[in-house]
Structure 1
């Protein structure tokens, strides 16, 4: 080894020695820092956390390898003792704030109403005091919101000030008539919009609720009655609250907005005079538009789509209740429009954001109810029955691949069947009953439509992916009973119209029994030509119809029919049964052999 090599090795050894000393010093500093931090946390939490020991690096000899030193393990912060207590006591401040809002607003209402009745202060002083108080509360809330821990108080003060300003506007418009109603509506909308904008800026749903909910009771109280102007105020408030909710998942705010527009209208509809039907109809239409449009705008941003859709449907209740006060034409037009709009949303639901399958179910129910109300409001029973059953038939055929359409078809058919039973009661089938021309025509048309509708519903359910459910079997059974009843009514009513209450009545029952057994034979013939695994529905239906025909034959026809009619029905039914017994087994054997 040369002298130059030894010099290089000596310099490297010296460098490693210096590095080892620096590492030892850094390790000691880390150990001391860990001890200081642990002592500070122990003082804060009331308990001492021992410092983590960090081994001190020795001073290694020159040229020896430097082992790696483990880094100090961080000390986990101790749990805060008072966090649970803070959470458990946080509701106290909120409850006190809400109570303060309510009491202050009641005081403002008393200032405007009772002071006016007693003549204590001049009108300008009352209104001015309310305005000054409202502005002061809002200004104080803005300052308080910038301070630590002042959010709850700021929200309460802001809500009180905004609601006070809104009540002031109501007073100057309705009590003192200083401002014309259109201008009052604009000012009220600006005040409410400003307050709700503040709620959005602070991202506080509670502030929005404290602005909306108190006014629901205080606005009618200040005005003295639930007048058109008060309803218009509340509708403008509901409209102003809608933009504030965009992009926010504020379901409670949505519910409050719907309540502000809906509850006063429902109360007004119940207690309204006939002279107020015109403006109530317009207000109900506006409320429905706000509810449906609002739900469509909020669905993409919410985590509760079904709740939002249900609230949108609840907002349409005033339109559904319009027949209580409005005339037939107005009620029918508005309810039919609501049904058409909601049905269009359901049909376009796959292309609309947020309109899920559950939402479409809710609004299909709404469209169904609105359509039913429209038909019932527009027509009397003899006309409503065929219209409803025809609509059910169209729904069953057009929506044969949709369970929602099938449900709506069953609903329309059920309500139409109730109207149908008014003119085609069981008594008219048991004993000869005279029928007028208009009622007879309605009964005959509805009977044909009931048979067609029952067949369409059965056919639609048979083409669904799961036709074997219990609900489907129940619907099939109901459709079969309805078709048998309608066919009997059809033949008996036709017989009475043609042959009178004697021979025509008997001939109608003979024809009905023969048709029953003929349809049963047709079902069994179809079952015999189907594969063994697919024939159960047709076979069960055919046998059930045979049993029903036999029961009618011996329970009713035998004791009611007279003379030749009894002979004819027994001979014809007997021959058909013989043919069915002889031919079904042979057809079934040939079909199974081919399979």
Structure 2
């Protein structure tokens, strides 16, 4: 209760809910945008449809369109300074400037009164004047309406290849605006039209049989879009590091370059993709260290976008420059490089790219060295070669570096469940790669018993690796129970796999002295490991050491009995 003599505080006053259509300026803006659209459609009809119907002559059509657009711009300049005239003035000026731009497109592409180079230069001047007026009025809607109106209606004036040039001019003319103004919508509307038009043109070129010159012009247009997008974004984000939309526009601008390589043969496509990858990955590399980030001022989100786009380009280069047999080698080498850098710099983003390439390389390798081919002498001799062995060796290096990188990034506790899962997955991949490498060598020799010798050696290598893991675990039994647990667990799993292969595959496939040698070597290794295993636990129990499970072994206890 309020103290005597004081009134209770009045409840807060609730503002009455106003429907959206009654809010200040909403209807006027909707009507203005509709007016811009309808008027520009009328300008297009004057320039194109009237020509198709034979109304008037070319000169009256062009002159009337230019005069009409100039009158609209003048009316907008006159109206914008009056009370309540800003919305109308912006709409009138945007309609007029876009109309002049469409007039230039028609003069260049339809009537051919201007050479394309001169026409593009005049269009650049018109677009620059429009965005300059938008900067003077501090109006993002004016710039957006000018660019969007011209970009959406220009394809109705012409569908020739020069259309891409006019759309790229719009993209270029807006770049200086972004330095002084944080206008995110302008980033998108200046980039998307040129990108979409180029992608559609590329798709049409893939379907139809076009001349070589048109393909080259599409490549030039794609390069221009990528250069304008990259340079504009870099210059903007150096001033405003938090401009995510600029990075999004940059990522969009890279897509035509990724698509245009499909128009060329494998060699040229690989060269174009490789050059694109070098540029993008070089841009991404500017942010890998704090010193380089401070020098270049490229924010992390822009570097990540460049790295992802560059990785796609690098994958295209790998596919274009290799065959089915050598594709795993190329992709696994890229994965090895990415993972090595990621581990050194502790970069999760680079590690993600490396793991993606490792997955692609692993799938490509599995498609070449399938389990069926590894199990059949005839298929192995037909499809496996030294390149398979080389890919497998590189794959083993990728597995080792991937484990090192993941442990550095994740900080998995030694002996924890996460580390156990990591080592189990790595062991499984390594066993498959080792088997493929050795069998491929045996099959590639062309010897009658090369396949069976390869499988015999593979089984022995499996058991040798298991023995090494077990001995390493036993050596660390007293010093680190966590390390011992992981090593012994991995070793026992590999031992089980080696024995399963020995009895389920080798016994039925191998013959003669080769089978005898496999059984003898595996048996000796098992005896050696078993003896060392029992002695290690006896010593650990006698000294009160820790068992792999983390509990202290009882003195004189038999680990097998436990």
- Report the TM-score when normalising by structure 1: 0.80
Given the alignment, which residue of 432, 440, 460 partners 2:405? 460
| SS, match of residue 361 in structure 1 | helix
Q: Distance in 2 between matches of 1:279 and 1:115?
A: 31
Q: Distance in 1 between matches of 2:342 and 2:20?
A: 58
Given the alignment, which residue of 171, 185, 191 partners 1:252? 185
Q: How many residues align?
A: 518
> Is residue 106 of structure 1 aligned with residue 41 of structure 2?
yes
Within a 5 Å distance, the mapping from 1:294-443 to structure 2 comes to 294-300=232-238, 302=240, 305-349=243-287, 350-351=293-294, 355-400=298-343, 401-433=346-378, 440-443=385-388
| SS, match of residue 381 in structure 1 | coil
* CA shift digits 1:231-272 (9 cap, x unpaired): 111111101111111132222211112202211110011001
Give the match for residue 551 of structure 2.
none
Q: Which has the larger radius of gyration?
A: 1
> Is residue 220 of structure 1 aligned with residue 155 of structure 2?
yes
> Does the CA-based 8 Å contact 1:520-1:546 persist in structure 2?
yes
> Does the CA-based 8 Å contact 2:20-2:26 persist in structure 1?
no
Q: Distance in 1 between matches of 2:136 and 2:193?
A: 22
Following TM superposition, by how much is the alpha carbon of 1:301 offset from its aligned partner in structure 2, in angstroms? Answer: 5.0
> Does the CA-based 8 Å contact 1:212-1:260 persist in structure 2?
no
> Is residue 450 of structure 1 aligned with residue 395 of structure 2?
yes
* CA shift digits 1:352-401 (9 cap, x unpaired): 67644444333322222121112112222223321221222233223323
* CA shift digits 1:415-440 (9 cap, x unpaired): 22333234322221121125679961
Given the alignment, which residue of 141, 144, 147 partners 2:79? 144
Give the match for residue 576 of structure 1.
525
Assess, with a 3 A threshold, how the Cα gap between structure 1 residues 517 and 195 changes in structure 2: closer, same or farther: same
Q: Distance in 2 between matches of 1:516 and 1:246?
A: 62
Q: Distance in 1 between matches of 2:421 and 2:220?
A: 42
* CA shift digits 1:83-138 (9 cap, x unpaired): 87787353222222111111111111111111111111111111111111111111
> Is residue 513 of structure 1 aligned with residue 459 of structure 2?
yes
> Does the CA-based 8 Å contact 1:159-1:210 persist in structure 2?
yes
* CA shift digits 1:157-180 (9 cap, x unpaired): 111111101100000001111111
| SS, match of residue 191 in structure 2 | helix
Stretches of structure 2 that go unaligned for 5 or more consecutive residues are 1-12, 288-292, 547-562
> Does the CA-based 8 Å contact 1:274-1:325 persist in structure 2?
no
Following TM superposition, by how much is the alpha carbon of 1:462 offset from its aligned partner in structure 2, in angstroms? Answer: 2.7
Given the alignment, which residue of 413, 418, 429 partners 1:482? 429
Stretches of structure 1 that go unaligned for 5 or more consecutive residues are 1-77
Q: Distance in 2 between matches of 1:185 and 1:203?
A: 26
Give the match for residue 504 of structure 1.
450
Q: Distance in 2 between matches of 1:360 and 1:130?
A: 45
> Is residue 184 of structure 1 aligned with residue 119 of structure 2?
yes
* Stretch of structure 1 that moved more, 399-408 or 122-131: 399-408
Given the alignment, which residue of 68, 75, 89 partners 1:133? 68
Following TM superposition, by how much is the alpha carbon of 1:304 offset from its aligned partner in structure 2, in angstroms? Answer: 5.2
> Does the CA-based 8 Å contact 1:140-1:154 persist in structure 2?
yes
Assess, with a 3 A threshold, how the Cα gap between structure 1 residues 358 and 549 changes in structure 2: closer, same or farther: farther
| SS, match of residue 464 in structure 1 | helix
Assess, with a 3 A threshold, how the Cα gap between structure 1 residues 550 and 202 changes in structure 2: closer, same or farther: farther
Within a 5 Å distance, the mapping from 1:263-282 to structure 2 comes to 263-272=196-205, 273-275=210-212, 276-282=214-220
Given the alignment, which residue of 475, 480, 491 partners 1:542? 491
Assess, with a 3 A threshold, how the Cα gap between structure 1 residues 471 and 113 changes in structure 2: closer, same or farther: farther
Q: Distance in 2 between matches of 1:201 and 1:587?
A: 84
- Report the TM-score when normalising by structure 2: 0.84
> Does the CA-based 8 Å contact 2:48-2:157 persist in structure 1?
yes
Assess, with a 3 A threshold, how the Cα gap between structure 1 residues 478 and 242 changes in structure 2: closer, same or farther: farther
> Is residue 234 of structure 1 aligned with residue 167 of structure 2?
yes
Give the match for residue 28 of structure 1.
none
The Cα RMSD (Å) is 3.0
Following TM superposition, by how much is the alpha carbon of 1:591 offset from its aligned partner in structure 2, in angstroms? Answer: 7.6
Assess, with a 3 A threshold, how the Cα gap between structure 1 residues 432 and 138 changes in structure 2: closer, same or farther: same
Q: Distance in 1 between matches of 2:511 and 2:172?
A: 71
> Does the CA-based 8 Å contact 2:308-2:353 persist in structure 1?
yes
> Does the CA-based 8 Å contact 2:452-2:514 persist in structure 1?
yes
Following TM superposition, by how much is the alpha carbon of 1:549 offset from its aligned partner in structure 2, in angstroms? Answer: 1.8
